[in-house]
A and B are shown apart, each in its own frame.
Chain A
Amino acid sequence: MKIRSPGSFGFSLFLLMLLGYFVLESSAYSPRARIVPWVVGIPTFVLHLIVTLAHRFPKLLHGFDIDVIALARRDRPSSASGESAPSDDGIGPRVELVKLLTIGAWMAASFIALYLVGFLPMLFGFVFLFLWFSGGISWWRSFIIGVVFTGAVWAVFHTMRLTLFEGSLRGAYVPPFF
C-alpha cells in the first residue's frame, strides 16, 4: 500500500530518530540517570513506531488509535487512524511548503541580523522589510509601522531598565554555546 502523505511519514521518521537518540544515549548514563529516560522513552518509542508504521500499514493503528471525542458521538465511532493524514486546510501542499520555507528564511535571517547588529535595528528591519516585501504593504506604511513598533519596544525596555542585546559587531557579549 502506498504511503498517502510523504510529508507526514518523513516527519514521523524524524521524530522516531529523535526518540531513538534519547533511548540509546541513555545507555551511557548511570543507572539512576537512565531510569526515567528508559521508563518514559522506550514506551514512547514503541508507540511512535506504531504511529510511523501505520503510514504504510494503517490497520496497525486501528486497535490503538482512540479519538475520545469521536467516542462521545451518538453514532458508531470509527477509528481515528483514518484522520492521521494531514488535511490541506484550503492551501495546496506545494504552496504551503513554499510559504514554510519563506517564513523559515525570514526567521533565520532575523536571527543572524540579531546576532550581528542587535535587537533594535533587527526589529525595525524585520518589520519594515517583511511588511513591504512579503506583506505587500506600501513602503511608507511599512516604514511607519516599523518605527512605531521599534520605538515602543525601546520605550518599554528603557522604562523597565532591561538591556537589549546590541549585536556582536557592536561588542556585545555572546555566551558560548558549546
Chain B
Amino acid sequence: MFDPLLTAAGRLAELSNLLLVLLGTGFGLAIGILPGLSILTAMALALPFTFGMDPMSAMFLLAGVMGAAPFGGSTTAILFNIPGEPFNAATCFDGYPMASKGEAARALGISAMSSALGGVFGLLILLALIPAVRQIIFAFGPPEFFMLILFGLVTVAFAVPGNMVRGLVCAGLGVLLSLVGFSSTTGDLRFTLGSRNYLWDGLSLSPFFLGIFAIKEVVEYYAQGGSIAPTGEKIRAGLKGTLAGAIESFRYWREFILGSLVGVVVGILPGVDGTVSNFLSYTLAMRGSRHPERFGTGVPEAIVAVESSNNSKDGGDLLPTVAFGIPGSSTMAILMGAFILHGFNPGPLFLREHMDIVWGIILGRLLSSLLASTAGLLAAGLMARLTFLNVIYLVPTIFGLSLLGAYAERENIWDVLLAIVAGLFAYGLVRFKFPIVTLVIGFVLGQMAEQALLQSLQMSFGDYSIFFTRPIALILFFLMILTLFFPFFKRASKEAIP
C-alpha cells in the first residue's frame, strides 16, 4: 500500500515534475477564469503536450489542470456573476452579492480556503472509500440515476431564490431544450425547425452556457451602468480582506463537512454532473442554517458549502474512473484517454497494477488545489478591484471573450449566434423573475434523464413500476415528493399559527 505512495511522492518531489504541476495549475486557473473555456478545453489542450512524456509526469501536468480549474471558475462567479463552469453556478448566489457590497476580496478568500480544504477532504474520503466503492457504484442502475436526476432538478428548483413554480418551469424548459437534435436512443431528429446540419447535434452546452451567463450579464451591465461594487465607500480590499475571509471560513465547519460529503457522494456516481452536488450542498446548507432567509444576500457559509462541494467531488469522480474504468465525469473521460495514450488499460485491474499512477494523480491534484488557492489568496485583492471598474469597460471585453469562447469549442460560427440569442433570452428570463440556473441544470441533466428513463424501461420491458420496486429509487422518489410538498406544508402550518 505504501510503496506506490512513496514512489509517487518521490517522483513529485523532482523539480521537473513540480514545474509541470505548477504549469498545469497556472494553465487551469487561466482557463477557468476565461468564460467559455472550460476545464474540458483545458484538459483537451494539455493532453497533446503529454506526448512523449513519462506517464507519471504526464499525469502531474493533467492533475495540475484538474486541481486548479474549479477555483478559476469560482473567481468569475464571485467577481462578475459569471460562473466559469456549470458547477460554479451556485457560487454566484452569495459570492456575487458579497462582491456587490465591496467584499469581493473576503469572498475570494473564503472560496480559496474552502476549495483547498474541500479538495483535501475529497481525496481523503476517496482513499477511505476505495474498499467500498464497488458496492456503492453497482447499487446505482438506470432507475436510480433517473430518480437521482429528478431529485436533483426538484432540489435545484427549491434552492433558487424566488418562487418554486417559476423554478420548475425553467427546469422543464431546460430539459426540453436539451432534447433538441438527433436522439441516439430513439433515432429521431427532434425540434430542429428544419435544420439538418447545425441543430443535428442539438444545442451545444458551451455556447449555450456562455450566452445564458456571460452575455446575459453583459446586457445587464449595460442596462444598469455604474460599477459592480459601490465606489466611494470604505471596504476591505486587498490582502487583509482576503486573509480575513480565509480565516473566517473555518467558522463554518459544519457547512464545510456537509458540502464536502455531498460532493464526494455525487462525484462517485458516474455520469451525474457535478452541478447537482453544487446545488444540493447549497440547499442542505440553507435548510440547516439558523438564518436561511439570509441565503442569497451574501452569506459566507453558502460559499463554504458550495466551494467545498465543488472540489471534494473531484476526489469522488476519480474513484469509479480508476476502480472500474467508468469515467465519473467528462473530465475523467479525458483522463482515461490519457491513460490509453500512455499505454495503460483502464479497468478493474488498474488500481491493482498502477496504484502509483493513482497516487500521482491524487498528490498532483492536492498540490495543484493548494497552489491555486494560494495564488487566489495572493491575487484576490487585485482581482477584487475589478469590481470597482466602470462596467462600460467590461461590456465589450467580456462580450468579445464570450464570443471567442463560444467559437473555440467546435469552430462553428453558428455557435456564436446561439450564444448571443441565449444571452438575450436569459436576460428576459432574469428580468421577469425566472431563475436561469434551473434552466441550465435542466439542460445539463435532460439528456441523461431521458437515457436513464429509456434504459430503465428497456430493463423492465416497459413496466414503470421498476422505479418503485427498487429500494434506492423509491427512497429518492419519496425525497423528491417531500422536497416538492414540504414548503406547502410548512406554509400551511405557519399560517395556522395565530
Contact = CB atoms under 8 A, between A and B. Distances in A.
A and B bind? yes
Contacts of A22: 176, 191
B414 interface: yes
B397 interface: yes
B172 interface: yes
Contact of A99 (B183, B222, B393, B450): B222
Which of B413, B427, B431, B497 is most buried by chain A, counting CB atoms within 10 A of its CB? Answer: B413
Contact of A175 (B215, B286, B414): B414
A145 interface: yes
Contact of A80 (B163, B169, B407): B163
A107 to B, nearest CB: 5
A119 B169 contact: no
B424 interface: yes
Q: Is the interface of B mostly helix, strand, loop or mixed?
A: helix
B179 A8 contact: no
Given A32-B186, A175-B412, A177-B414, A73 B293 contact: yes
Contacts of A157: 404
Interface bin, chain B: 35 or more
Interface string A34-56: 01110011011001101100000
Contacts of A104: 424
Interface string B187-201: 110110011111000
B475 interface: no
Nearest to B392: A135
A86 interface: yes
B223 A99 contact: yes
Contacts of A86: 431-433
A44 B165 contact: no
B238 to A, nearest CB: 26
B193 to A, nearest CB: 9
Interface bin, chain A: 35 or more
A65 B411 contact: no
Given A134-B392, A178-B196, A36 B165 contact: no
Contacts of B417: 111
A7 B427 CA distance: 13
Given A11-B428, A25-B191, A83-B433, A47 B168 contact: yes
A72 interface: yes
Interface stretch (B68-76, B368-376, B483-491): B483-491
Contact of B165 (A51, A89, A130, A149): A51
B198 A176 contact: yes
Interface of A: 5, 7-8, 11-12, 14-15, 18-19, 21-22, 25-26, 29-30, 32-33, 35-37, 40-41, 43-44, 47-48, 50-51, 61, 64-73, 76-77, 80-81, 83-84, 86, 89-91, 96, 99-100, 102-104, 107-108, 110-111, 114-115, 119, 123, 126-127, 130-131, 134-137, 145, 149, 153, 157, 160, 162-165, 174-178
Given A25-B190, A110-B403, 20 more contacts: A15-B173, A37-B179, A44-B169, A51-B166, A67-B162, A67-B164, A69-B295, A72-B291, A84-B163, A86-B432, A123-B403, A126-B400, A130-B395, A135-B395, A145-B393, A149-B396, A160-B45, A165-B413, A175-B414, A177-B197
